[in-house]
């Protein structure tokens, strides 16, 4: 190491906040300047944040990359940062990893870290507590070291070779008791055909739920997307595969920006909007009649327990369908905004 490099390292005195940034980057992999600001500098200007990050980069605690001159910087852990975590935290060397390159699907990756922020920073209080949040990156690390897996759901996901974009568990205080809810989180960027979502995500989670019922009765699969059109397409595709009711829910990413989002009715159950009707060997997806002033929606902390049974019998489903609804219009979206 050159004398100049030694002087740069010596000139940086790590603060408690700096160490927290290193720990968060070890978990998240990469974070943008705005994401770091939201976590650790909510009352500071962007210039002040960048100034501190530049010092950490100069000291080799962080590394920075850009995809273009007009985009925000992307930060990851660097060599000195790893050493600092080993010296000043309880992390072992196996628990610390430095990314070697930018994620291939960068927008998807950063959106999952946006989900991390909303769960870690905006879900606490009023009887709600985050018990853990693991991204795909962290889950892969745990899967490689089975002895580190103490949560039964994580072990079950590993057994069925399912890696969600993220996995979260919250505790909700209800009438003196704490109800634990587990959430497999998926972000859909809209870059793949909805049938791929059905063949992979819907089938995988349905099989997991059916085989692990009793261990997964409080599991919800929450899928987030950026547009209502995409949400509608995903819900229609979900009903096509007829999974258990109350297992899959959908929401717009933008809804997480509101205050106390976990108590707001932002989640949609696809069975509230579509009905699978079997006509011979073919299943037709029919849109329900929904009054725009009575939109069915759910809050995170009040999602009903999933049922191992099918949503309804064939007769019940067909009785819910009107002649008007049976007109096929796969491009039209229900009024759910």
**133-137, long-range: CB < 8 A, 24+ apart:** 133/166, 133/167, 133/168, 134/166, 134/167, 134/168, 135/27, 135/28, 135/29, 135/165, 135/166, 136/112, 136/163, 136/164, 136/165, 136/166, 137/27, 137/28, 137/29
Quote the CA–CA distance of 335 and 337 in Å, as a whole number. 6
Structure tokens at 132: 């853990």
Structure tokens at 306: 């999933």
Please state the φ and ψ torsions of residue 284, each to the nearest 5 degrees.
Answer: -105, 135
Global confidence as pTM: 0.85
Tens digit of each residue's pLDDT, the chain (337 residues): 444 444 444 478 899 999 999 999 999 999 999 999 999 999 999 999 999 999 999 999 999 999 888 888 999 999 999 999 999 888 788 788 899 899 999 999 999 999 999 999 987 666 889 999 999 999 988 888 766 667 788 888 888 889 999 999 999 887 778 888 999 999 999 999 999 999 999 999 999 888 866 566 688 999 999 999 999 999 999 999 999 999 999 999 999 999 889 989 999 999 999 999 988 778 899 999 887 777 899 999 888 876 654 444 444 444 444 444 444 444 444 445 4
Q: Which domains does the chain have, with CATH numbers?
A: 3-100 (1.10.10.10), 107-319 (no CATH)
Q: How far is CA 102 from CA 31, 33, 109, in A?
A: 11, 15, 10
Structure tokens at 18: 């700096």
What pLDDT digit, counting tens, does each position of 250-288 carry? 999 999 999 889 989 999 999 999 999 988 778 899 999
Structure tokens at 211: 């085989």
Are 30 and 108 within 8 A, CB to CB? no
For 244-263, give the DSSP string.
PTTSEEEEEGGGGGSTTGGG
Quote the CA–CA distance of 114 and 171 in Å, as a whole number. 21
- Which H helix or E strand runs over 131? strand 128-135
For 17-59, give the DSSP string.
HHHHHHHHHHHHS-EEHHHHHHHH-TTS-HHHHHHHHHHHHHT
């Amino acid at each position: 190491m050159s004398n100049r490099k030694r002087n740069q390292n010596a000139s940086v005195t790590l603060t408690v906040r700096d160490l927290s940034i290193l720990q968060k980057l070890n978990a998240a992999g990469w974070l943008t300047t705005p994401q770091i600001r939201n976590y650790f500098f909510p009352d500071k200007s962007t210039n002040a944040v960048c100034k501190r990050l530049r010092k950490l980069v100069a000291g080799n605690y962080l590394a920075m990359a850009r995809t273009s001159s007009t985009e925000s910087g992307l930060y990851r852990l660097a060599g000195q940062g790893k050493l600092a975590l080993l010296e000043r935290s309880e992390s072992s060397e196996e628990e610390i990893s430095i990314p070697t390159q930018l994620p291939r699907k960068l927008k998807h990756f950063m959106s999952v870290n946006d989900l991390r922020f909303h769960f870690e920073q905006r879900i606490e209080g009023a009887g709600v507590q985050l018990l853990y949040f693991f991204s795909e990156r962290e889950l892969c690390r745990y899967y490689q070291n089975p002895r580190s897996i103490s949560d039964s759901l994580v072990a079950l996901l590993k057994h069925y070779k399912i890696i969600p974009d993220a996995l979260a568990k919250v505790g909700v205080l209800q009438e003196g008791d704490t109800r634990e809810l587990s959430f497999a989180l998926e972000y859909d960027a809209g870059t793949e055909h909805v049938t791929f979502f059905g063949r992979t995500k819907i089938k995988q989670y349905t099989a997991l739920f059916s085989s692990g019922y009793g261990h997964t009765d409080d599991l919800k699969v929450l899928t987030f997307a950026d547009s209502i059109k995409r949400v509608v397409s995903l819900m229609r595709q979900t009903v096509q595969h007829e999974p258990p009711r109350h297992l899959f829910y959908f929401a717009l990413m933008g809804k997480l920006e509101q205050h106390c989002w976990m108590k707001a009715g932002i989640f949609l159950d696809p069975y509230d909007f579509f009905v699978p009707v079997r006509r011979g060997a073919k299943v037709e997806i029919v849109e329900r009649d929904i009054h725009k002033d009575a939109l069915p929606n759910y809050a995170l902390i009040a999602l009903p327990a999933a049922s191992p049974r099918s949503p309804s019998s064939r007769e019940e489903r067909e009785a819910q369908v009107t002649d008007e609804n049976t007109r096929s219009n796969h491009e039209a979206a229900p009024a759910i905004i």
